[in-house]
Each structure stands twice: as structure tokens, then as C-alpha cells.
Amino acid sequence: MKHFFSDFSKLIKFRLTFLVVFSASITFLIGQKAQIYRGELDGINWMNWLILVAGGFLVTGAANCFNEIIEKDLDKLMTRTKDRPMPAGRMTTGQGLVLGLIMGMLGTWLLGKLNLETGILSVFSILLYAFAYTPLKRKSPVAVFVGAIPGALPPLLGYLASFGNATHFVPMDYTIAGILFLVQFVWQFPHFWAIAWVLDDDYSKAGFRLLPTTKRDKTSAFITFLSTLILIPVSLLPTFYGFGGYYIGGVSLMASLVFAWLGFKLWVKLDLASARKVMFCSFFYLPLVQLVLLFDFLAK
């Protein structure tokens, strides 16, 4: 059982799946609180939250499973991925496909129970990630842009799920949902490019072309730095539009400036140490900003 759970964790990319579910959960709670403020709910619907967590976990796991089925032979070539269950020979592609289909159908059914829009978004996310982003990784750096779309859907999905089958959206709901999507969308560019810089030698074994210019050069570093600069005004949108207070504004500004400073150092130095700092900063940035936004929103 220990080996099974270890392989299952690698199959669904547990840490990535956890981050996706965490992001959706945060925005679900924000959406619920917005409805409580307006008198539309008496309290948080924790059963719907559990359905979102379970459905989101299964749908994300399915997308990652399909990704690994498609890339099984490429994963064998890279040190980072060669011990995954399918390239290592501990699981067949048929077994992986059955698991992926079961998780995908069950997860979509659960999310569809919340509302139709959430179910449709989950299917769209699987298709875009597994069958558009995955094959594009070997063809063009535009894959990062395509992959950033399903990567930014969790906060949007979580916010939509918070309404259940109700249809009482107000204009601010569309603004909040759009901003939550945009923050995570922009964040993914420095996040992915920093990882691509650090793992470029390993990625090149499989022919992946993820850096902006497909190589570690001054232009790739500058575009990565530029993406951290774009994140600064985007991260301040919750405060600007009034659904986030000064706490989230201050934390977002400080975190974004640190992120941009590390991006600038990568542009100047062009070394792996600087790229790792950008990468690790990206790991902390998003959970920090989302948690502070939630606490700021709850405290209003």
C-alpha cells in the first residue's frame, strides 16, 4: 500500500494538485463571504466546500494523469520524471487511462452538482491542459501561455462554485472572479519560466521549449523580469476595486516588489542561483497573497 500511495501521488502530481485545490478553496470562501455580506446566505456551506475539494482534486488528478500518459516516453528521458509510475514500468498506460477516466468523470460529476458552469469549466480545464498545453511543450514557448489558462481557472472555478445553483450574480461578482483569475494567470509566467530556467538541461532531453526564447539568454531573463513587473499592478487590483483592504494591498505590493527584484537579479546575473530564487519566491508568493486576501476579506 505504501508503494501504491507513493505511485499514486506521483501520478497525480500531488503537490501541484494540492495547490490547485487550495487556490479554489480560498476563492470559494471569498465567494461565500460575499453572499453572506449581501444577506443571501446565513453561513458558509461546508458541504459544498467539501464537494469542491473532492471534485477539484479528482479533476486535477485526471488532467495530470492524462498528461503523463501522453508524455510517458518523454518522461523516461528526464531525471526529474523518470521515476514516475508509467515511465518506470510500475503502471501501464491502460491502467493510467482507466484511473484518469474514473477521476475525470467522478470529479466532473461532483463539480457539476454545485452548478453547471463549474462542471463545464472543469472539463474545459482538463482538455486544454492535457490535449493543448501538453503537446505544445515540444513545439513552441507559446505553450506557457496556453498552460497558464487552465492553471488560472481554479480561483475562477472556486468562486463560481461558491454560488451553488443560485444565479444571483451582481456586477462586482464578475469583477472579483476576473481579478482572481488574472492574478493567478500573470503569476504563472515568472513561475513557469523560472522553473524552465532551472530545469532547462533536463527539459532539453525531452525537447521541451518553455523559455521565452527557448534558451537561457538575456532576452528570456528580461521577459521573465518583465512578467514580475506586470504582476505588481495586477496584484493591487483587489484593493483598487475595493473587495480587498489595505492589508492585502500592502502584502501584495511588498511580495511583488521582492519577486520583481529577484527577477531583475536574474536578468543581470543570468545564473542558476538567481533563477532558483525566483522559482522559490513564486512557490511562496501565491499562497501568501491568497491567504492574506481571504483574511482581509473575512475581517471586513
pLDDT of residue 199: 94
Q: Is the pLDDT of residue 167 over 80?
A: no
Q: Is the pLDDT of residue 300 over 70?
A: no
Q: Report CA-CA distances (Å) from 286 to 170, 187, 197, 206, 254.
A: 27, 8, 20, 29, 13
pLDDT of residue 298: 76
Per-residue pLDDT of 115-143, as tens digits, reads: 988 999 999 999 999 999 999 998 999 99
SS3 percent helix, strand, coil of the chain, rounded to 5, is 80, 0, 20
Superfamily of domain 1-169: UbiA prenyltransferase (1.10.357.140)
* In the block, residue with C-alpha cell 488528478: 61
pLDDT of residue 65: 95
Q: What percent of the chain has pLDDT over 90?
A: 73
Interval 88-94 mean pLDDT: 91
Query: Shortest CA distance to 165 belongs to which of 222, 92, 116, 96?
Result: 116
Q: Are 49 and 25 in contact (CB under 8 A)?
A: yes
pLDDT of residue 59: 95
Q: How many CB atoms lie within 10 A of CB 8?
A: 15
- Give the side-chain half-sphere CA count within 13 A for 56: 32
Q: Is the pLDDT of residue 174 over 90?
A: no
Q: Name every residue whose Cβ is closer than 8 Å to that of residue 108 and which is 6 or more positions away in sequence.
A: 55, 59, 119, 122, 123, 126
Q: Report CA-CA distances (Å) from 60 to 107, 162, 228, 280.
A: 9, 18, 26, 22
pLDDT of residue 296: 84
Q: Is the pLDDT of residue 148 over 70?
A: yes
Per-residue pLDDT of 10-56, as tens digits, reads: 999 998 899 999 999 999 999 998 888 888 888 899 999 999 999 99
pLDDT of residue 181: 94
The single-letter code of the amino acid at 1 is M
pLDDT band at residue 253, thresholds of 50, 70 and 90?
A: very high
- Residue 66 CA to residue 49 CA, distance in Å, equals 26
3-class SS at 199? coil
pLDDT of residue 172: 78
Angle at 100 between CA 94 and CA 103, to 5 degrees: 140
The pTM (predicted TM-score) of the whole model is 0.93
